Amino acid sequence: MTSQERDDDVVLEAGEYVLGTAAPDERDAFEQRLKTDPAARRELAYWERRLGSLGLGLAPVQPPAAVWDRVSETLSLGDTRTAATPRSQAPAANDSRFWRGAAIAATLVALVLGGILLSQPTYHHGFGEPDPPHAYTSIVYDDPTGTGWLVTAWAGDDEMQVVALGDYEVPEGKVLRAWLKPEEGEPMPLGTWPHSKGGYNMTLSEATVKRMAPPAKLMVSMEDAGTSDQTRSAPAGKLMWSAPILSRAG
């Protein structure tokens, strides 16, 4: 093994250790190596810094105050119970709707960062926990501008949440409109598609809720402003993006 190969070896071992993909025996071996090998410790610190910064891309979510109480109690700290609540109190994190929204926001950055999860199959919970509410998600991503939208619709809800990560420039006199393209049949209008950064709720008709399941697709077209999408059975303007709708546990 050359010196370069040895260098690459420790880079990869440390990277996989931090990433968490190392197999148990590899992880044990690396932990042993850490005890004697400065290069391994250096690489470990490197990857913790570098990969750790990915966690900075998530929108913060305020934990319930009870967590601090438990920390304080475990460590037998002084009278600091609930004193660690931040100055601006966020909505209760055990409120299911808030948590779902927060999770979506936190997820969005991760998803758009790589635009990766378009191909993500259904997520399966483990550990014997009950399945969370079923959700449909879709990610619309404009490669040239890097603008992303995360779409989530929850089974049983007549609203669809759309989070736009950035602003997308729409020419004057034009408007973006969203469409649901079921497996069979014509596109169904969903309404005006947001082009400014922020979170939006779009009301869904009963008909569209029923046909949301994969392999349906979400389409967005550029239409003339002033024309009602409700009167159309199909986009008349340019099709801008088409993204698969994924079924996943919440």
Partner 1 sequence: MAEREQLAAWLTATAQGDERAFQQLYAATSSQLYALLLRILRSPERAQDALQDAYVKVWQKADTYTPERGAPLTWLLSIARYRALDVLRRKRPEVAMPEEPDMMATLLEDEQALSPLEENENQQSLDAIRACLKTLQPQQRDSVLLAYYEGLTHQELSQRLDAPLGTVKSWIRRGLMRLRECLSERAS
Choosing from 11, 29, 170, 222, the residue that interacts with partner 1 (CB under 8 A) is 11
CB of 55 to partner 1, least distance (A): 4
**Which distant-in-sequence residues (6+ apart) come within 8 Å of 103 by Cβ?**
61, 250
When the beta carbons of 58 and 240 are compared against partner 1, the nearer one is 58
Choosing from 4, 5, 78, 231, the residue that interacts with partner 1 (CB under 8 A) is 78
Choosing from 6, 51, 207, 239, the residue that interacts with partner 1 (CB under 8 A) is 51
Compute how many residues bind partner 1; rule: CB under 8 A: 76
In 22-95, alpha helices (H): 24-36, 38-52, 65-74
Q: Is 62 in the site for partner 1 (CB under 8 A)?
A: yes
Choosing from 3, 4, 55, 171, the residue that interacts with partner 1 (CB under 8 A) is 55
Q: What are phi and psi of 103, to 5 degrees?
A: -65, -40
SS3 205: coil
Choosing from 97, 116, 186, 215, the residue that interacts with partner 1 (CB under 8 A) is 116
For partner 1, the binding residues in 229-248 under the rule CB under 8 A are: none
In the chain, alpha helices (H): 3-19, 24-36, 38-52, 65-74, 96-114, 206-210
Choosing from 6, 91, 97, 125, the residue that interacts with partner 1 (CB under 8 A) is 125
When the beta carbons of 150 and 190 are compared against partner 1, the nearer one is 150
Q: Is 6 in the site for partner 1 (CB under 8 A)?
A: no
Choosing from 4, 5, 121, 169, the residue that interacts with partner 1 (CB under 8 A) is 121
Strands 147-154 and 159-164: antiparallel
Q: Which residues pair with 151 in a beta bridge?
A: 138, 162
CB of 179 to partner 1, least distance (A): 26
List for the chain the helix, strand, coil content (%; round to 5).
Answer: 35, 25, 40
